[in-house]
């Protein structure tokens, strides 16, 4: 930049033909906007001095503004100026760069306007622009439009395939992402590390360990460059698929570990309840002079919450503030959870009341659970009122309030809550659990018997019910809010999605294969107890990843030590 400023000064202090002057300034803009050693602010100032910027200058400034650490809509504004001037020579690069800018800041409406411009200008058949449109719609989670654009590309290159797979993975359409990866292979397109990050991320989201392992082997076999991002994705995948020891192995083998890699490992250890390892990893991270970020501290604080380590949690909270990390809603949620689990509900309530940011419904729900656990009805009602003001139609809030009243034997109030649910027509989010068998992910929803092997699953469930009952378990029917008899409530509990998935796992696999379940909601207390019993009676290890953490059930006990 020092040398470039000298060149710029010479341009300004000597007479040059206007064409030479403009051309030289465009090269300065290009360097300042796109080089790793450049300066985007300087580029913007120089751009404003060009009497008639050429398309290279416009493209450089649009692309350069998209690559800053704090992206904004500035590239889109530059494109609007370009269009307003009626510039005749905008090209496929211009359109692709501005679509990329729209995807970064999730500017869906502006991106659609650019798409209209693409159609009018005749660049809709450009593979470069088509791929940019797939990426834009995928990043903005308009997956239907992304797929439409993808299907219109006659000759799909690696970038197009990777972009579409990434779009599916981003919004949790896991089977579609994996299916597209298989299609890509059939088409003879060889994936690179970017593709593998997308598809492995999809495995992490679904808990598809077998596919994830196969992909890892594929990477090794085809000598795909295992860079920092891909290695981190593998760590994350193994951790989220319940294979924390394998995640550790991949992590330890990494020659270079950045903040994201350390944070992925720490969060993985935290969701598995390995609090000692979390503390050790944080210490090693600091010794390696890698600076923790907000994700690192979410992992550390959640580990403290799930192990009841209040003093450690307070220590790490102070450490976070000292390190300059600004607490987010997730951090505040971890601290409230920590205090509530330690039966410090009053302190948790005071902590929420003094938060510098407005508490979201999740914070109030954590508090309400804490009030129920401590049978603090007065405080619980205050919290519930705040929660229902924010989310008057969320079934989970009413279920928690009903449980609060049940814990204090307030049956009349509990009935009133049930009536509210019925009168308002509120529907709870159905429990959904998935299990991977032979490389395919099978999903089960509570009470849904549409599976092709439903009859066999029912038989396994009947066997489970008889054996669990014979072991002395009595179902916790008070959690069922529907207006039905006790026998119907027992039946409803028996059809929870994780029970269906476990039954399918018992049906399709044999010991010592571990049964691995992923659930979208928190495991209920009755299912938690029953799964412990199943692990002992059937002599099977069962790993359940619920919305909060992992539970590893072995021989009648759980890794969470019933503290979750």
Model pLDDT for residues 316-327, shown as the tens digit of each residue: 999 999 999 999
Tokens of 295: 């994700």
pLDDT-derived band at 500 (thresholds 50, 70, 90) equals very high
- Measured CA to CA, the distance from residue 326 to residue 458 in angstroms comes to 51
Distance, CA of 331 to CA of 280 (rounded, Å): 20
The mean per-residue pLDDT over the stretch 242-266 comes to 96
Question: What percent of the chain lies above the pLDDT cut of 90?
Answer: 71
**Hey, what domains does the chain have and what are their CATH numbers?**
257-326 (no CATH), 336-428 (1.25.40), 434-558 (no CATH)
Rounded Cα–Cα distance for residues 406 and 413 (Å):
9
- SS3 assignment for 164-180: HHHHHHHCCCHHHHHHH
How many Cβ atoms from other residues are within 10 Å of residue 271's Cβ? 20
Q: Which pLDDT value is given to residue 37?
A: 86
- Reported as a single tens digit per residue, the pLDDT across 406-431 is 888 898 998 899 899 888 888 888 88
pLDDT for res 369: 93
Summary mean pLDDT of the chain? 91
Token pair, residue 373, equals 């656990």
**How much is the pLDDT for 218?**
92
Give exposure, 278-297, as e/b (b: 16+ Cβ within 10 Å).
bbebbeebeeeebebeebbb
Other beta carbons within 10 angstroms of residue 299's beta carbon come to: 24
Using one digit for the tens of pLDDT, what is the confidence trace for 70-96? Answer: 888 999 999 999 988 876 566 899 999
Q: What own/partner pairs with CB < 8 Å and gap ≥ 24 does 457-460 have?
A: 457/500, 457/503, 457/504, 457/507, 460/503, 460/504, 460/506, 460/507
Burial 191-222 (b: 16+ CB within 10 A, else e): bbbbbbbbbbbbbbbbbbbbbbbebbeebeee
Instruction: Specify which residues 435 forms β-bridges with.
Output: 442, 517
Q: What is the pTM of this model?
A: 0.79
- Whole-angstrom Cα distance, residue 414 to residue 214? 50
For residues 118 and 95, the answer to whether their CB atoms sit within 8 Å is yes
Q: Per-residue pLDDT for 56 more than 80? A: yes
DSSP state of 393: T
Flag whether pLDDT at 495 surpasses 80: yes
Written as six digits, the tokens of 258 are 């950045």
Q: Quick one: pLDDT band at residue 438, thresholds 50, 70, 90?
A: confident
pLDDT of 89 reads 61
The vertex-488 CA angle with 484 and 494, nearest 5°, equals 135
The pLDDT of residue 30: 92
pLDDT in tens, 331-350: 999 999 999 999 999 999 99
Exposure of 469 by Cβ count < 10 A (0-12 exposed, 13-18 middle, 19+ buried)? middle
> Read out DSSP for 43-56?
HHHHHHH-SS--HH
Q: How far apart are CA 410 and CA 328, in angstroms?
A: 36
SS3 (DSSP) at 517: strand
* Ranges of H-type helices in 391-476: 395-407, 411-423, 454-470
Cβ burial 17-38 (10 Å sphere, 16+ → b, else e): eeeebbebbbebbbbbbbeeeb
């Amino acid at each position: 930049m020092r040398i470039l400023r000298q060149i710029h000064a010479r341009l300004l202090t000597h007479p040059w033909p206007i064409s030479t002057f403009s051309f030289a300034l465009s090269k300065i803009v290009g360097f300042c906007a796109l080089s790793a050693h450049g300066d985007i602010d300087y580029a913007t100032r120089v751009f404003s001095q060009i009497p008639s910027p050429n398309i290279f200058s416009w493209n450089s400034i649009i692309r350069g503004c998209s690559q800053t650490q704090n992206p904004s809509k500035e590239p889109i504004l530059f494109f609007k100026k370009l269009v307003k001037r009626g510039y005749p020579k905008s090209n496929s690069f211009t359109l692709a760069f501005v679509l990329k800018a729209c995807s970064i800041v999730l500017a869906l409406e502006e991106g659609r306007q650019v798409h209209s411009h693409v159609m009018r200008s005749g660049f809709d058949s450009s593979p470069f622009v088509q791929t940019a449109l797939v990426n834009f719609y995928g990043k903005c989670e308009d997956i239907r439009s992304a797929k439409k654009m993808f299907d219109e590309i006659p000759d799909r290159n690696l970038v197009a395939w990777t972009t579409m797979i990434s779009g599916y993975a981003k919004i949790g359409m896991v089977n579609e992402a994996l299916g597209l990866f298989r299609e890509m292979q059939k088409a003879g397109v060889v994936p690179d590390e970017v593709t593998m990050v997308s598809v492995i991320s999809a495995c992490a989201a679904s808990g598809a360990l077998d596919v994830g392992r196969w992909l890892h082997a594929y990477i090794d076999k085809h000598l795909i460059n295992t860079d920092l991002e891909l290695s981190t994705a593998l760590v994350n995948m193994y951790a989220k698929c319940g294979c924390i020891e394998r995640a550790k192995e991949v992590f330890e083998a990494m020659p270079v570990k950045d903040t994201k890699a350390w944070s992925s490992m720490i969060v993985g250890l935290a969701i598995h309840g390995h609090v000692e390892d979390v503390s050790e990893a944080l210490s090693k991270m600091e010794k390696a002079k890698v600076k923790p970020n907000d994700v690192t501290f979410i992992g550390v604080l959640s580990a403290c919450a799930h192990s009841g380590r209040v003093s450690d949690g307070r220590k790490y909270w102070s450490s976070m503030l000292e390190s300059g990390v600004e607490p987010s809603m997730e951090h505040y949620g971890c601290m409230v959870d920590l205090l509530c689990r330690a039966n410090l509900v009053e302190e948790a309530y005071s902590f929420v009341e003094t938060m510098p940011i407005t508490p979201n419904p999740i914070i109030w729900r954590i508090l309400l659970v804490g009030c129920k656990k401590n049978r603090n009805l007065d405080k619980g009602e205050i919290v519930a009122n705040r929660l229902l003001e924010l989310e008057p139609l969320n079934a989970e809030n009413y279920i928690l309030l009903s449980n609060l009243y049940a814990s204090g034997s307030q049956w009349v109030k509990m009935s009133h809550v049930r009536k509210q649910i019925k009168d308002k027509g509120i529907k709870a989010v159905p429990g959904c659990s998935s299990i991977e068998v032979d490389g395919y992910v099978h999903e089960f929803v509570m009470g849904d018997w549409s599976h092709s092997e439903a009859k066999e699953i029912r038989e396994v469930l009947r066997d489970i019910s008889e054996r669990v009952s014979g072991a002395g378990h009595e179902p916790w029917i008070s959690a069922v809010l529907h207006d039905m008899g006790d026998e119907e409530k027992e039946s409803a509990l028996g059809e929870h999605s994780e029970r269906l998935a476990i039954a399918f796992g018992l049906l399709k696999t044999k010991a010592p294969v571990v049964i691995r379940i992923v659930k979208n909601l928190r495991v209920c207390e009755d299912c938690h107890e029953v799964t412990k019993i199943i692990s002992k009676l059937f002599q099977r290890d069962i790993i359940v990843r619920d919305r909060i953490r992992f539970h590893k059930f072995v021989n009648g006990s759980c890794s969470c030590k019933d503290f979750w």
